[in-house]
A and B are shown apart, each in its own frame.
With several copies, the nearest count.
Chain A
Amino acid sequence: MKSMNYIKVEFPSSSVNESFARNVAGCFAAQLDPTLEELGDIKTAVSEAVTNCIVHAYPDKLGVVLMKARILPENTLEIVVKDKGVGIADINKAREPMFTTGGDERSGMGFTIMESFMDKVKVRSTAGKGTTVTMRRRIICRKQVK
Chain B
Amino acid sequence: MKVFCEKKNGRMRILLSGELDHNVARGVMSSIDALIDENLPRECILDMGGLSFMDSSGIAVILRTNKHMTDVGGRTWVENCEGQALRVLDAAGIDRVVKVYSK
Contact = CB atoms under 8 A, between A and B. Distances in A.
Interface stretch (A57-65, A69-77, A104-112, A127-135): A104-112
Contact residues on A (Cβ < 8 Å of other chain), bracket:
20 to 34
B15 interface: no
A49 to B, nearest CB: 10
A105 B25 contact: yes
Contacts of A97: 92-93
Contact of B84 (A19, A40, A55, A110): A40
B21 to A, nearest CB: 5
A41 B88 CA distance: 9
Interface string B67-103: 1000000000000000110011001110000000000
Given A116-B91, A117-B91, A19 B63 contact: no
B26 A40 contact: no
Interface of A is mostly: helix
Contacts of A47: 21, 53, 55
Given A40-B84, A112-B92, A113-B55, A105 B60 contact: yes
Contacts of B39: none
B103 to A, nearest CB: 15
Contacts, number: 77
Contacts of A107: 56-57, 59-60, 63, 92
A105 B56 contact: no
B92 A104 contact: no
A144 to B, nearest CB: 13
Contacts of B64: 104-105
Interface of B: 2, 19, 21-23, 25-26, 29, 53, 55-57, 59-60, 63-64, 67, 83-84, 87-88, 91-93
Given A40-B83, A41-B87, A44-B84, 12 more contacts: A19-B19, A37-B87, A43-B53, A44-B53, A48-B56, A104-B64, A104-B67, A107-B56, A107-B59, A112-B92, A113-B55, A146-B2
